[in-house]
A = this chain, B = another copy of it.
Amino acid sequence: MSDKDNQPLSGPLSGKDLARKPRGFPDKRESLIHAQARLVETVTGVYRQWGFEALDTGAFEYADALGKFLPDADRPNAGVFSMQDDDAQWMALRYDLTAPLARFVAEQGQGLGRPFRRYAAGPVWRNEKPGPGRFREFWQCDADTVGAPGFHADAEMIAMGAEALRAIGMKPGEFVIRVNTRRLLNGVLDGVGATGADIRLAILRALDKLDRLGASGVADLLGAGRKDESGDFTKGAGLGPEEIKRVLAFAEAGADTRAMTLANLAKATGSTEEGKAGLGELEAIALALEALGAPEDDVKIDPSVVRGLEYYTGPVFEAELLREVTGEDGKTYRIGSIGGGGRYDDLVARFTGETVPATGFSIGISRLAAALAIMGEGGKLDGPVVVLNLDKDNPGVALGLAAELRRGGIRAEAYMGASGMRPQMKYADRRNSPAVVIVGGDELEKGTVTIKDLEIGAQKAKAISSNEEYREARPGQIEVPRAGMIEAVRAIVEAQR
């Protein structure tokens, strides 16, 4: 690729037209960034407490090492961002944190020691069509146990995921982690004689619509087909009435407790090898969840769960936000999936040939941060105290006072620039400053500073009717000896918290 190629094909842009960014890579401001940082800190804190250690991999992997496991890979490069390295090998930005982990484990070999338990937090990239709430860059926070075959390792992931969601402030009933296993589903498919890839896919797609279409709609899709309100016809999977009944009984086995759901499933899955094996997995997980004290509300067995990533080989988990998210604008938003995971026993084997049992859980940090920001729960952020700069020729006074305030532990800045008083006050308002510090010629002479409490000032100003009265009253304004500045400002800042 020559340097000249690195130009927009539509001809060089200039001026305002240049100031644009690719869709799906949003700029983030204070409240969202703080919500995200708090989430990462809390979730990695829980992972760490459960004994996991940190491992970060780079943004790029070789494309063939990442593999192609993304769902709906109907776009070029299978949904990833890729480019050629100097040596003509294709590199791609990671689309999740799991595939790079598998590469790492394979590369390290036996020297790594097993089980290897790691956590990671960072951005991943998907080359999907961007849209409202659909980003091409987002943060995930993962934990994985590599080298542990037992289903108690899966149960640990699930219980830990629930604890992490509790730790970030989710109350009982505000979220659920649903657990299923591929083998159970395979057993049902085997049981109804659906052995071809096409019919299996048709059944999976029908099941995926249970929430939206209800049992009768799904029954149509499992059978001859379904005509929607617009008259469009979707061809069905072609199952007979008995088979449809069994698939539906399976899909609707969910009950109030994990034990009851398992009992329903035992009836629905019948006697196929895969079905029995799947049921065994879920029973082992349920026992371990019990030992870990995972509440029934937090974790449910739900046979309708299907995870999109194609590397899963056994149990799969899906975390969903149930709480209704109402914005400060009064609108209600549906957040849906906020994480998930599962067992991926064959991912390392792609490299080494050796099956390395592995399981993991991933929390969608960006999605959760957006939800918290919408709800206005990102946490209140204090603005800085602004020291006005009124002596244009000598900014040293304001700089020195701001430095003094910071040494006193107060977030503070000197106004940068040489504007008049009004724009400087406006600036302090925009920054949500708790107070401004004013030192004019008067104060310099007397050895004092004037401090204006912007919250009290705003309240008092409302009660004042005339400009003259305002000037007289100087709402929220006090003058103190310079030596008393830090104490006086601190009192104002703390009173506003």
Contact = CB atoms under 8 A, between A and B. Distances in A.
Nearest to A386: B51
Interface string A377-417: 00000001010000000011101101100100001111111
* Copies of this chain, tallied across the complex: 2
A6 interface: yes
4 cross-chain pairs, A with B, having the tightest CB-CB distances, nearest first? A25-B58, A51-B413, A291-B396, A51-B384
A88 interface: yes
7 contacts: A7-B90, A25-B59, A28-B57, A51-B384, A51-B412, A59-B59, A288-B399
Contacts of A55: 27-30, 33
A103 B25 CA distance: 13
A149 B153 CA distance: 59
A403 B137 contact: no
Contacts of A384: 50-51
Given A76-B3, A352-B19, A431-B53, A58 B137 contact: yes
A61 interface: yes
Contacts of A27: 55-58, 104
A325 interface: no
B58 A427 contact: no
Contacts of A19: 65, 103, 106-107, 351-352
Interface string A155-173: 1100100000000000000
Interface of A: 1-3, 5-10, 12-13, 15-16, 18-22, 24-30, 33-34, 48-65, 76-78, 81-83, 85, 88-93, 100, 103-104, 106-107, 113-115, 117, 123, 125, 136-137, 145, 147-150, 152-153, 155-156, 159, 287-288, 290-293, 350-353, 384, 386, 395-397, 399-400, 402-403, 406, 411-418, 427, 430-431
A19 B103 CA distance: 5
A57 B114 CA distance: 38
